[in-house]
């Protein structure tokens, strides 16, 4: 996998890779819930730091840097939108011109930190867990309907595939001499890039549907999944997640 692709499994033999998929699913749920109920920026920074540390342990420093650059752009846009739309609270002015309010900045920062925490938690889940093991756990342990589990797996595979195809299209345009130099050129590249990308995606989706039918998925045959056994390190990790959930919950309720 190239560093530009996201949400694709990366083979490894680290402690994080060896954890049961159930542990990483529970951790992702914990990050989502904790991010929603907490509104303290420092707590959200800590929450975002936990999956980042786990990704470092999994040996994905380059991926953190690559995706971090993309997230910084998203964060800047979210903060800008919040500053422009939320005009309540103390106004910060320069030379008498009101630029931003405290509530606008705080809203943008909170949204960005929540998004970052959830993004890195999900990145940890999908890049250190084999898609087959993830679907197996969703169906066998969490009793997800097979259709939903299949949709999740297909979506996870389509994201990096679309990235690869988009990169090939832009590289082909560069070989033909098109090098966007400004906003006007960037706007011109959208149509020639999006049109073949959508066309290829629709064709790929249709082919995938035919393959699924040919393999008898619609025959209502029951598919048996073998549960991946939990080991001691998995139980300890689950206990840690429960402790973190209780701690973040108590803090959000004001008991800590």
Q: Look up residue 224 and give its DSSP letter.
A: P
Pairwise pLDDT comparison (99 vs 33), residue with the higher score? 33
Residue 237 clears pLDDT 90, i.e. is over it: yes
Three-class SS state of 178: coil
Residue with tokens 């049961």: 20
Residue 4 clears pLDDT 80, i.e. is over it: no
Pairwise pLDDT comparison (242 vs 146), residue with the higher score? 242
Q: What is the pLDDT of residue 144?
A: 81
Helix 102-127 to helix 131-140 angle, to the nearest 10 degrees? Answer: 100
Domain regions of the chain by residue span: 1-130+229-256, 142-226
For residue 101, report the phi and psi dihedrals to the nearest 5 degrees: -110, 160
CA torsion 113→117→120→121, rounded to 10°?
Answer: -170
Cα 113 from chain centroid (whole Å): 13
Residue of 36, 66, 35 whose CA lies nearest to 48? 35
**Average pLDDT over every residue of 21-47:** 90
Half-sphere exposure of residue 174, counting CA atoms within 13 Å on the CB side?
7
Encode pLDDT of 134-187 as tens digits: 888 888 888 888 777 777 777 777 767 777 777 777 777 777 776 666 555 555
Q: What is the pLDDT of residue 2?
A: 46
Q: What is the pLDDT of residue 50?
A: 92
Q: What is the pLDDT of residue 3?
A: 46
Note the pTM of the prediction, 2 decimals: 0.78
**Average pLDDT over every residue of 112-121:** 92
Identify the bridge partners of residue 52 per DSSP, sorted by sequence position: none
With beta carbons less than 8 A apart as the criterion, state whether 140 and 226 touch: yes
| Gap between the Cα atoms of 255 and 213, Å rounded | 54
Three-class SS state of 46: helix
Encode pLDDT of 212-227 as tens digits: 666 666 655 566 777 8
What's the token pair of residue 122? 């999900």
Residue 87 clears pLDDT 60, i.e. is over it: yes
With beta carbons less than 8 A apart as the criterion, state whether 16 and 58 touch: yes
């Amino acid at each position: 996998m190239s560093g530009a692709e996201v949400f694709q499994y990366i083979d490894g033999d680290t402690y994080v890779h060896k954890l049961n998929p159930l542990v990483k699913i529970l951790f992702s749920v914990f990050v989502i819930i904790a991010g929603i109920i907490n509104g303290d920026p420092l707590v959200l920074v800590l929450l975002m730091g936990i999956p980042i540390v786990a990704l470092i342990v999994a040996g994905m420093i380059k991926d953190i840097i690559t995706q971090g650059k993309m997230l910084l752009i998203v964060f800047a846009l979210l903060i800008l939108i919040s500053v422009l739309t939320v005009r309540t609270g103390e106004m910060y002015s320069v030379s008498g011109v009101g630029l931003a309010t405290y509530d606008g900045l705080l809203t943008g920062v909170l949204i960005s930190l929540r998004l970052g925490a959830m993004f890195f938690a999900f990145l940890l889940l999908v890049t250190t867990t084999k898609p087959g093991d993830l679907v197996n756990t969703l169906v066998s342990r969490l009793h997800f309907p097979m259709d939903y589990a299949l949709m999740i797996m297909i979506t996870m595979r389509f994201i990096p595939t679309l990235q690869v195809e988009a990169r090939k299209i832009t590289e082909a345009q560069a070989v033909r001499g098109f090098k966007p130099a400004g906003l006007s050129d960037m706007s011109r590249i959208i149509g020639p890039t999006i049109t073949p990308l959508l066309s290829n995606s629709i064709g790929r989706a249709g082919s995938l549907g035919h393959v699924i039918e040919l393999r008898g998925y619609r025959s209502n045959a029951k598919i048996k999944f073998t549960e991946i056994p939990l080991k001691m390190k998995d139980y300890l990790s689950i206990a840690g997640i429960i402790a973190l959930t209780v701690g973040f919950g108590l803090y959000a309720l004001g008991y800590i």
